[in-house]
Each structure stands twice: as structure tokens, then as C-alpha cells.
Structure 1
Amino acid sequence: MAVSTPICDFGWKAPDFALPGTDGKTWTREDVRGPKGTLIMFICNHCPYVIAVRDRIIRDAKELQAMGIGVAAISSNDADAYPEDSFDRMKEVARELDLPFPYLYDEDQSVAKAYDAVCTPDFFGFDAGLGLQYRGRLDASRKQAGPPDLRRDLFEAMKQVAETGHGPQEQIPSMGCSIKWKDAA
């Protein structure tokens, strides 16, 4: 079932984290933070919405990093129920795709809860002071990638954040597969 993200809560502060990366390092929010802003993405390996746009996520991440935006992706899905999203499989995907950003594993789902992440993909774009400026979609793609000339909503928003410190007032929510939460004990 597809779900969409809530509207942007401008200025909401990015929670800190310390998560293992597929590169063998432990990453914190400060490690990821860029001088002009930070993009935290909740993604996973198996979601068709993510798979459809992985090449666009990688393209946009590289271009945003060149503008001073720090980028990281976090997978928080229950890997027991969805083995494709296991940490070992995340390592394989990161290597296969040559991800240009840290791909982090939120095994206990505490970071997804702290961010109030709801779906994959879910994009959180922060300004240099770690205040939320964007909570919208990558572009108009859904389970299949849209045409190559689609407006790059995430890229344009984060470019604006890098240049002005402010995200666009009008934002279209991201849509994707729900986060696969573990059963409450």
C-alpha cells in the first residue's frame, strides 16, 4: 500500500543518530552534515518506488554534494520480515550501485521513529543549521520512473536551500511503500 509523507514542518531540527554504514564506519548526523545543508533519505533495497528512481537519487546526490549538501540514506525496514533489506544485502546494493553517499542501517528503527519517517523514499532536506526546509518528492515518478525531463523537485528544492537557506513554500509529498515496522514486543 502506497503512503505519502506529511507536509514540511519548516525549521524542525534534525535528530542526531549514530548508525553503521555499509562502508564499515559508524556515521553520525554531524559526519553527514554539509556546509550548505543536509539531505537524509529513508530508502530500502526492495521498494519498487525506490528501485524506479535509484539512478536519479544517485545523480541528484552527486550534484547536491558538489553544492555543499551532505547526503546520507538510511534503511529502517524490518529485515526479519523483509530479508532483501538486510544489512548484508544493503552492503551488496551499495557496492553494486557505487553509492556516492553513506548507506546506513537503522536496525532498531529508532532513527526512523525520531524522524517520523513514513515511507520509502522519504526525503528530509535541512538547511545549514539543520532546520527542515524540504519534505517532498524526488520528482513525479511513482512505481516506474517518469520521463527524463520531469521537474527535479528534490534537486531544485535543495539547490534553493544551498543558495538561500530556505526551501520552497510549495512542496508535493513523497509517495512510496510504508516503512516496514517491527512488531511491538
Structure 2
Amino acid sequence: MASVPPICDFGWKAVDARLMSTEGRPFSIFDCAGPNGLVVAFICNHCPYVKAVIDRVVRDARDLEALGIGFVAINSNDADAYPADSFERMKDFAAVHAFSFPYLHDEDQSVARAYEAVCTPDFFGFNSDMELQYRGRLDASRNKAGDADLRRDLFEAMRGVAETGEGPREQIPSMGCSIKWKETA
């Protein structure tokens, strides 16, 4: 069933954490920020919404880097209940899609809870002060990739953040599979 996150809580301060990356070393979320901001994307390996847009996510992360916006992806799904989201499979997923950004494992789901992440994909766009300016969709794609000429909502919003420090006041929320929470978490 598809889940939709709430609207952007402008100015909410990002939360830092140190998580293991698919590169085999830990990363701090804040260390992934660029001089003009950071996108924190909650994704996973098996979600059809993520699979439909992952190549566009990689493209936008690369293009945002040129604007001084860093990018980090986090998988918080319960890998015991969803083995396709295991850390080993995360490594494969990152390699197949040539991630140019850290892909972090939130094994205890504490980061997803701190961010109040709802679905995969769920995008959080922060300015250089690590204040939330965007919580919306990548583009109008859903569980199938949309046309190649779709408006790049995340990219355009973060371009504005890079230039002005502020995100657009009108945002369309992302849609995706719900985060797969652990029973005991």
C-alpha cells in the first residue's frame, strides 16, 4: 500500500547520525552535506516506487552536487522481514546503479524515526544551515517511471535552495511503499 509523507516543516533542523555505508565504512549524515545544503533520501532495494526512479535519483544527485548540494541515501527497512533490503543486497543495489553518494544502513531504524520518514522514497532537502526546505517528490513518477521530460521537482527545489537558502512554498509530497518497521523497534 502506498504511503504519503506530511508536508514540509520549514526550518526543522536535520539530525546527524553515524551509519555504516555500503562502501564498508561509517559516514556521518552531516559529512555528506555540500556548501549549499543536503538531500537525505530514505530508499530501499525492493520498493517498486524506488526501482522506478532510481536512475533519476542517481542523475539528480550528480546534478545537485554541481550546485553544491550533497546527497545521502538511507535504508531503514527491516531486513529480517524483507531480506531484499539486507546490507549485502544494499551493496549490490548501489553497485548496479553506480551510486555516487553514500548509501547508509539504519539497522536500528533510529534515524528514520528521528526524521519521521514515512515511505520509500522520502526526500528531505536542507539548506546550508541544515534547515528543512523541501519534503516532496522526485518527479511525478509513481511505481512506474514517468515520461523522460517530467518536471524534476526535487532538483528544481534544491536548485532554489542552493541559490536562495529557501525551498518552494508549494510542494507535492512523495509517494511510495511504507517504511518496513521492526516489530520491536
Give the TM-score normalised by structure 1. Answer: 0.99
Q: Does 1:8 align with 2:16?
A: no
Amino acid at match of 2:103: Y
Partner in structure 2 of residue 86 of structure 1? 86
Unmatched segments (≥5 aa) in structure 2: none
Aligned match of 1:170: 170
Residues of 2 paired with 1:48 and 1:42: CA distance? Answer: 14
Aligned residues: 185
The residue type equivalent to 1:49 in the other structure is Y
CA positional deviation for 1:30: 2.4
Moved over 2 A (4+): none
Distance in 2, Cα, partners of 1:30 & 1:51: 26
Identity %: 67
Any idea what the Cα deviations from partners look like across 1:79-125, whole Å, max 9, x if unmatched? 00000000000011111111010000000000000000000000000
Give 1:120's aligned amino acid: T
Which letter maps to 1:74? I
Deviation at 1:153, TM superposition (A): 0.4
User: 1:27-46 to 2 correspondence within 5 Å?
Assistant: 27-46=27-46
Give the TM-score of the pair, scaled to structure 2.
Answer: 0.99
Residues 1:151 and 2:151 aligned together: yes
Does the residue aligned with 1:93 lie in a helix, a strand or coil?
helix
What's the C-alpha RMSD, in Å, of the aligned pairs?
0.7
- Specify the alignment match of 1:160 in structure 2: 160
Q: Tell me which residue corresponds to 1:121.
A: 121
Q: CA deviation at 1:172?
A: 0.3
1:69 shift after superposition: 0.4
Residue 51 of structure 1 aligns to a residue whose secondary structure is helix
Given residue 172 of structure 2, which amino acid in structure 1 is its aligned partner?
A: I
